[in-house]
Every structure is written in C-alpha cells, then in structure tokens.
Amino acid sequence: MLRDKNLVPLSRQHQHALALCVRIDRALEAGKVDVDEWRAEIQHIFEQEIAIHFAAEEKELFPVAARFSGLRTLVRELKDEHGTLREYFRRCTATKPETEDLRVLVNTLALHIRKEERQFFEGMQKVMSAEELASLGAALNAALNGATRACALPRKPKA
C-alpha cells in the first residue's frame, strides 16, 4: 500500500533513521567503529529529528490511532518502545558507548521503524478516512516544525 501523503513526513524521518542504522551496522561489521564520532552523530540526530518525531507521534498520532480498537494494542507497544529507545539513545550519548550498545540501538530502532511502517501506518490508512488523515497531517506538520525541514509536508505553491 502506498503511504498516505499525510504520513510521508514521518516515513521520511524513518528513512533517515534507517540510513543511520545501516551505516552503524556496516561500521560494526567492518570493525571500524570510532564510538566518539558515532556518539556525536547519534546525539545530533536524536536531538534534531528523532526526539521531535517521537513527541509528534505521542502527541498527535497515538491518541488518534488509539480510538480504533484494532490499533490500541499496537499503540501501547509503540509507546513502550519509544521509552526503551530513549534509554538506548541516552546510553549511547551520555557516555562513551560500547559497541554492543550501538548494536542494540541499531537493531531495536530498525525493528521499531519497520513495525510502524508495516503494521501501524498500514493499519491507520485502512481505518481512517481521507478527512481524518488530512486533519492528522496538519497536526503532524505543526508538531514536526522544529525537526529537519526535509521532513516537513510539502507546501502547495501559491497561485
């Protein structure tokens, strides 16, 4: 199923985070890990995009989705995963992370993103009307305003 345009900003952020996961995973596999450099990059990406992304989902997306009985359990799981991921990000940025900390972060984040994309977003698109998705998209765009501008909903050109 194609991603509804109102969820695209979140999907773009997911792509950015997955790219980070792939880069860290490749470095780990190659045995070329400068943990100080990764710590700085992870901190930057968390502060500039992921923390804002989590907050937008928790404030705008999860409450709307929780109105649908088929999505409630998934919403609870995703909220719990946000808490776990925040702890992993804290571990990887507060001190010099161990390579195992990086590996756990990468694996957990990638699984979380795939769950949101394949189960949660697909489920939302099946149960929500076009009007509900449009309203949600406007709220998400406002909530993501502080994140990297590449993730904002494209604006229509003025006529």
Contact 90, 101 (CB under 8 A): no
129: left (phi over 0), alpha (psi -120 to 50) or beta: beta
> 149 vs 19, which has greater pLDDT?
19
Instruction: Copy the structure tokens of residue 23.
Output: 């880069």
Kindly tell me if the per-residue pLDDT of 152 is higher than 60.
Answer: no
Question: What pLDDT was estimated at residue 148?
Answer: 57
Contact 7, 116 (CB under 8 A): no
Kindly tell me if the per-residue pLDDT of 157 is higher than 70.
Answer: no
- Give me the residue label for tokens 């995703």: 78
Contact 93, 42 (CB under 8 A): yes
Q: How confident is the model at residue 36 (pLDDT cuts 50, 70, 90)?
A: confident
Question: Domains along the chain?
Answer: 8-144 (1.20.120)
Q: What share of the chain is helix, strand, coil (3-state, %, to 5)?
A: 80, 0, 20
The mean per-residue pLDDT over the stretch 18-25 comes to 95
Question: pLDDT, tens digit, for every residue of 90-110?
Answer: 999 988 888 899 999 999 999
Interatomic CA distance for residues 148 and 102, integer angstroms? 23
Interatomic CA distance for residues 14 and 132, integer angstroms? 22
Comparing CA positions, the residue from 2, 6, 25, 7 lying closest to residue 116 is 7
Question: pLDDT, tens digit, for every residue of 104-144?
Answer: 999 999 999 999 999 999 999 999 999 999 999 999 999 99
DSSP state of 147: S
The percent of residues in the chain predicted with pLDDT above 70, rounded, is: 92
Question: pLDDT, tens digit, for every residue of 4-14?
Answer: 999 999 999 99
Question: What pLDDT was estimated at residue 94?
Answer: 85
Farthest-apart Cα atoms in the chain, separation: 54
Question: pLDDT, tens digit, for every residue of 64-92?
Answer: 999 999 999 999 999 999 999 999 999 99
